[in-house]
Structure 1
């Protein structure tokens, strides 16, 4: 593979804090559009259990234990899930619209092929979350830690990861457009087969790419990040480095 195929735009700008947010969308990259949520006063959810293909409008799920429940295909509009347990919760093909998920926690939450539009996910503690084949548009992920996030084949447009830790996220075959990483630790990321457009990595506090470094075309990195990635890039290009 020729060096030109990597195609990442290199910036020498400041990498952290407010300077990053002002720099986002600068030369070579378009800024992501963030969700602007104004939830109406919610009513407390008192339905007991989630239902497949359920319809939830203007509800607040507070400290609910949704472990193992099935809300596949359900629609959540103007909803707030706060401090809920989502261990093994099935939300595949669900639609989360104009909603907030705050302080949710769980392992193995299934959101495969779900749609998240105008959603804020804050201070989450999640592991093994399945979002493969999902569509994320105008989504903000702020704070918290997500281990082994599966976004294979997903479509991300106008998504911001801010102040969070992503451990071994899998973007294999995903399409990322106008995606920003701000003060976010990206550890062991898999970009195999991914397509990137206007992806801003300059603000990542840590940037580790385990696989798919050849898919960085369409991304922006800082000079310091490029130097950190040099060994991986050299290995990808078959360049031997000695001395």
Structure 2
């Protein structure tokens, strides 16, 4: 199995963001957004290139169809952030505390999500390639209909994950700290799990296959 290719983000000297508010289809290049309150702002279709977003509030921030490239997102917080159909390429997401993030239909390539906690992450019909979830907690993430290729879960807790209709290719779950599959256990083809995880999943797999397990007579 090929491991995921991780991003190698090397930011240039950055200028502070001084515009106050995001703009739809805005073009942000080489900027540092530090402790900015972007609550409710509309940056749909915006492009962020060689940027750092640190400690920003993203409650209900609209970033639909945005492009985030060669950037570092650190300590983001917020509920209901809309990143649907966005593109994240060569991006590091560090210690995010987010809830209800909309990433359905998004494209993630060479992305690391390290630390933090994300509740109700919506990745339905998204495409993930060379993505690493590391040391983070994902509560009820929804991968319904998504395609995952060369994706790794390292020391990551997956709680109540939905894999309905997902397509997996070279997905490594062996190092997941917790693997709790709520739906879609039948879609694990293309993934690698550990022997211990197989034992944990045995009751769910048996139920999926219609096998009744009873104590010996």
TM normalised by structure 1 equals 0.88
Q: How does 1:195-206 map to 2 (within 5 A)?
A: 195-206=167-178
How many residue pairs get aligned? The number is 215
- Aligned position for 1:32: 4
CA distance in 1, matches of 2:92, 2:49: 13
For 2:198 and 2:16, how far apart are their aligned partners in 1? 49
Post-superposition offset of 1:216: 0.2
Deviation at 1:144, TM superposition (A): 0.1
Question: Residue by residue, what CA displacement relative to the aligned partner does 1:149-174 show, whole Å, maximum 9, x if unpaired?
Answer: 00000000000000000000000000
SS at match of 1:231: helix
Q: Equivalent residue for 2:44?
A: 72
2: CA distance, partners of 1:235 / 1:145? 30
1:125 matched to 2:97? The reply is: yes
Residue number in structure 2 paired with 1:224: 196
| Aligned counterpart for 1:211 among listed residues 183, 203, 214 | 183
Counterpart Cα distance in 1 of 2:19 and 2:72: 19
Aligned to 1:241: 213
**Partner SS state of residue 202, structure 1:** coil
**Equivalent in the alignment of 1:90:** 62
Structure 1 residue 39 displacement after superposition:
0.2
Any idea what the Cα deviations from partners look like across 1:186-241, whole Å, max 9, x if unmatched?
A: 11000000000000000000000000000000000000000000011011000001
How big is the shift at 1:52?
0.1
Aligned to 1:115: 87
Normalised by the length of structure 2, the TM-score is 0.99
CA distance in 1, matches of 2:38, 2:154: 31
How far, CA to CA, are the matches of 1:208 and 1:182 in structure 2? 15
Which of 162, 170, 175 matches 2:142? 170
Alpha-carbon distance in 2 for matches of 1:218, 1:194: 10
| CA positional deviation for 1:30 | 1.4
Task: For residue 187 of structure 1, give the secondary structure of its aligned residue in structure 2.
Answer: strand
- Residues 1:51 and 2:23 are matched in the alignment: yes
2:124 alignment partner, one of 128, 131, 152? 152
The match for 2:151 among 179, 183, 189 is: 179
Q: Which runs of 4+ in 1 moved over 4 A?
A: none
Unpaired stretches in structure 2, ≥5 consecutive residues: none
- Tell me: higher relative CO, structure 1 or 2? Use CA pairs within 8 A at least 6 residues apart: 1
Please report the RMSD computed on the Cα atoms of aligned residues, expressed in angstroms.
0.3
